[in-house]
Amino acid sequence: MSRTRQVLLPLALAALTAAGLFAAPLPAHAAESAAVTAGAGEPAGGGCLTARPAADAEAARLADPRAGRFVQEGGLGSFTARFPAALCGVRTPAEADRLLDAWGVALWESAVDRAQGRRPLGTLPIADDRPLYWTRLTMDDQLARWTPTFAVDAGELRSRFEDASRGLADNAFSGTRGIERVFVSGFDPFGLDGDLRTANPSGAVALALNGQRVRLADGRLAELRTVVLPVRYADFDHGIVERAFGPRLAPGPKAADRITTISQGYPGLFTLEAWAGRARSADPYPDNVGALSGGTYQHPVDAPGLAPGPQFIATTLPTAAMTAAVQSPYPVLLNTEVSEIPAGATDPVDRSDGPTPGSRAVEGGGGGYLSNEVAYRSNLLRQQLAPALPGGHLHTPVLTGLPADPQQLTGPDFEANRAAITAEVRTLLAAR
């Protein structure tokens, strides 16, 4: 089982045709930004954008008509329609910074509001995480094709927009006294070359729960704040996990009391991962841009930019309470498996009972891919900044149930399975 943990089941890929347009009004601060920055005489589509090819394999998937359908049928089409003109009206680097921050936050807030029923835009079910993903990716591509008349740091601007549109900006805890603060991360869809319609239930959970208050098993209230992280090694190399979790772990009245990273895992069950490993070892499985980690099961590597730390970090979540809290419709198991190179050895071995002293990490409970790495990075930071704070990783079941007809973006089984996963995650997060 260990070597297959990071491998998704391949799904059929087929072409679709574009359909529907459901323009959503922008939140006030983004609409105001668009009005202020739209330059006189600029074409509505953004005359300062080049027509060069997509920057990478992830953006290249936008050529599939289904990508546009997720944007339009998800009710977020006004973002992609108006963003080019807003870019073309920017005249200074400072304006660019403000615009990218404002539009990123507006996109995140619109997706959260949509998922929680405050702005039920479009015709896709509100719980769907895919409209946010494809809208952000379209806007990233528009930003990459922007040709301003002044010098900019394109990488820095993209990072600003990415962070803001993923919940890393303007998404702090309220600091209300007496309410526990729980910080949760999810992920974008991945494995999209298998089926472009693929969703990620951890991303849907993040959108559904951000800002919500839940009743804990001990009767207290908890406030949830969430982010959705990219499935790209380069973003992890450049510190997106530390940027997401650092402010929530810094001491203060708005610091988290608990952190939980969540990703999609195995068919038919939830797993609480007992151990996060330091290594990357998922090759030849690529990330969303087709990049490899550089590490394999036989030859694991450390990720760039990691601070010094142990080979394995144990979960400090209340796993006994969590597994006792709910076992239906999906069973919840504590996964104690790891893969390691024992001290003095050269070949990896799989263990069902955790690591041995002095061993080299190959895979944590979450494998050797980014789901394991987000757990390791966030909990390494937790050990440094708030060692008493509980933290760990939860894998959801694989979200199944897409219709066989590739022209259907969703269906009753798919929606029911996502709703069941989200409801069970809510119960697990409330366990104490």
Q: Give the type of residue at 178.
A: G
Burial class of residue 316 (count of CB atoms within 10 Å of its CB; 0-12, 13-18, 19+): middle
Q: Specify the pTM.
A: 0.90
pLDDT value, residue 109: 98
Ordered mean pLDDT values, 10 residues apiece, the chain (432 residues): 33 24 43 39 61 90 98 98 97 97 98 95 96 98 95 95 97 94 98 97 98 95 98 98 97 94 97 98 97 97 94 98 97 98 98 98 96 98 97 98 98 98 98 96
Burial class of residue 43 (count of CB atoms within 10 Å of its CB; 0-12, 13-18, 19+): exposed
Q: 4 to each of 34, 225, 314, how far by Cα in Å?
A: 47, 31, 21
pLDDT value, residue 41: 32
Nearest to 345 by CA among 308, 298, 312, 281: 298
pLDDT value, residue 376: 98
Q: What's the rounded Cα separation, in Å, for the pair 71 and 295?
A: 35
Nearest to 398 by CA among 317, 322, 339, 330: 330
Q: 355 to each of 129, 315, 350, how far by Cα in Å?
A: 35, 13, 9
pLDDT value, residue 12: 22
* CATH architecture for segment(s) 176-430: 3-Layer(aba) Sandwich (3.40)
> Coil, strand or helix: which one is 260?
strand
Whether residue 329 is preceded by a cis peptide bond, meaning omega within 30 degrees of 0, is yes
| Number of other CB atoms surrounding residue 117 within 10 Å | 10
Phi, psi of 275 (to 5 degrees): -140, 135
Q: What's the rounded Cα separation, in Å, for the pair 226 and 298?
A: 35
Q: Which residues of 217-251 are buried (b: 16+ CB within 10 A; e: fewer)?
A: eeeeebbbbbbbbbbbbebbeeebbbbbbebbbee
Domain definitions of the chain by residue range: 28-165, 176-430
Burial class of residue 111 (count of CB atoms within 10 Å of its CB; 0-12, 13-18, 19+): buried
pLDDT value, residue 120: 85
Q: Are 209 and 426 in contact (CB under 8 A)?
A: yes
